[in-house]
Structure 1
């Protein structure tokens, strides 16, 4: 690893193109060192480069550049309960989660790198019911603040799809179906993502700036979620 992020190597994209065509253990065993060289170590450099920027944006969130146990997700898929037998994820990703969270279900900023799209932003993924209930009550009780975040021009321009996340078909318990925020109250996951227009941008040092800017725009949303689950921002 180096001390500065110069962009992901071009072989990063070739590696994932070949993995998609050869998602099996024999191929990966033959390319494991390549995976470390073109995916793991550059991702560690990227996370390290993001650390001071994240500190300035949201000091309670952690950018951990360790290759194992840090902010980077493992490439290995859990196939125990999946109909898809492919052993490896066909994308790279990292999450900068709140220091109080030990898993992906805590609030976090997120970066996803795949051949079919690069995106970054933040949110909270399938939080436990008591945590999700706190978020719903915060949206209900502070709807003016919630809508101010959603209606901010910079936020809307950055996250063109708005706040997303799978939701219930009905209103959650305790909320009327005609609630003005029912669309967001139904959500079981809440996130915002900015798509990268040109995937080749990840091979340049400026990719850090792109992610930094999106994280800044996501921060009011992230602050709302974090405060809603009674954690310091």
Structure 2
């Protein structure tokens, strides 16, 4: 099924140099027609489609899709709107951003697809580190799997300088234990948005990242 038309991409190309409320208000009906409603339909269908692989996913698009409005309260960049739409597919949806899931952005430059964990609290980070340390072979097998590496490359994230003493020695074997975040991503071409293959391609990403997301879920006690 083709969810998006070329005007989806064109809308964001025009928004980029006109990122202010007056232009957006003038184009709000167009935004609703070619961006918001198609993306809502796509996200709902994708979530339902992926339940065949993970049954307990949040299915309501309103709990999965992020606002197009930027949070400019503490930012020097006062442009009010994002130049992409975004959503997360996970059991907790956007209400639980600590839970591993598949986050994606659709914009004129292309599609970005992320997995792993990004916003974890101190206790969750500790749980992940110790779980990696106690399940080193399983962790290494997942992150070195051929499809994972060819699709997502390596795990990224900010790094701590110090670790508890009991983790320091094993972190020499696996430096990722120093990470404060454990995320990974891939980029797909924008032309995929106006093809019939977009759900299929995101399903492939979901399946490739699933073993590592599941690993983190267990580590965090979900």
TM-score over 0.5 for the alignment? yes
Q: Where does residue 19 of structure 1 map in the other structure? A: 15
CA distance in 2 between partners of 1:121 and 1:49 (Å): 19
Kept after mapping to 2: 8 A contact 1:61/1:97: yes
Residue in structure 2 matched with residue 137 of structure 1 by the alignment = 130
Alignment partner of 2:115 out of 111, 119, 122: 122
> What stretches of structure 2 of length at least 5 have no aligned partner?
none
Q: How far off its partner does 1:163 sit?
A: 1.4
Match of 2:99 among 106, 112, 130: 106
Equivalent pair of 2:105/2:111 in contact (CA under 8 Å): yes
CA contact (8 A) 1:109 1:122 kept: yes
1:89 to 74, 78, 82: 82
Q: CA RMSD for the aligned pairs? A: 1.8
- TM-score, length of structure 2 as denominator length: 0.91
Give 2:180's aligned residue: 188
Q: Distance in 2 between matches of 1:11 and 1:205?
A: 16
Unaligned runs of 5+ in 1: none
1:47 aligns with 43
The count of aligned residue pairs is 220
Instruction: Show the counterpart of 1:165.
Output: 157
User: CA offsets per residue over residues 107-138 of structure 1, 9 Å max, x none?
Assistant: 22111112333121422222111111111111
Q: Is the 8 A contact 1:121 1:215 kept in 2?
A: no
Residue in structure 2 matched with residue 206 of structure 1 by the alignment: 197
The question of 1:153 aligning with 2:146 is answered yes
SS in 2 for 1:139: helix
Q: Residues 32 and 228 from structure 1, CA distance in 2 versus in 1: closer, same or farther, beyond 3 angstroms?
A: same
Query: 1:158, 1:194 within 8 Å by CA — same for their partners in 2?
Result: yes
Q: Within 2, Cα distance between the matches of 1:217 and 1:23?
A: 36
TM-score (norm 1): 0.87
